[in-house]
C-alpha cells in the first residue's frame, strides 16, 4: 500500500498514512485529532521563477557616472 504524507490544516502537523486506493482520503485524522487534513503531493506542483519578479519599492537607482 502506498504511504501518503498529510498535512493538518488546523495545527500544521505533518504525518504519514498508509492508505489503499479504496480507502481514499477519508477518515484521516492528524495526531492531534483534527480531521481537516490534506494530502501533500511529493511532486512539486509550483515552480517559482526567480526572474520576472520586480520590486518597485526597492528599486535601486544606478548612479552611472558617464564621463565624456
Pairing, β 37-40 against β 14-18:
unpaired
Q: Does 35 bind Zn ion (CB under 5 A)?
A: no
Find out whether 16 and 6 touch, Cβ atoms under 8 Å.
yes
Q: Residue 13, interface with Zn ion (CB under 5 A)? A: yes
What are 52's three cell numbers? 520576472
Stretch of 12-20, 41-49, 51-59, 60-68 contacting Zn ion, by CB under 5 A: 12-20
Least CB distance from residue 46 to Zn ion, whole Å?
A: 23
Q: What is the binding site for Zn ion (CB under 5 A)?
A: 8, 10-11, 13, 30, 32, 34
Amino acid at each position: 500500500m502506498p504511504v501518503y504524507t498529510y498535512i493538518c490544516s488546523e495545527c500544521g502537523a505533518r504525518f504519514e498514512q498508509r492508505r489503499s486506493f479504496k480507502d481514499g482520503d477519508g477518515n484521516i485524522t492528524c495526531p492531534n485529532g483534527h480531521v481537516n487534513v490534506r494530502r501533500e503531493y511529493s511532486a512539486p506542483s509550483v515552480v517559482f521563477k526567480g526572474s520576472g519578479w520586480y520590486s518597485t519599492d526597492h528599486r535601486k537607482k544606478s548612479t552611472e557616472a558617464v564621463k565624456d
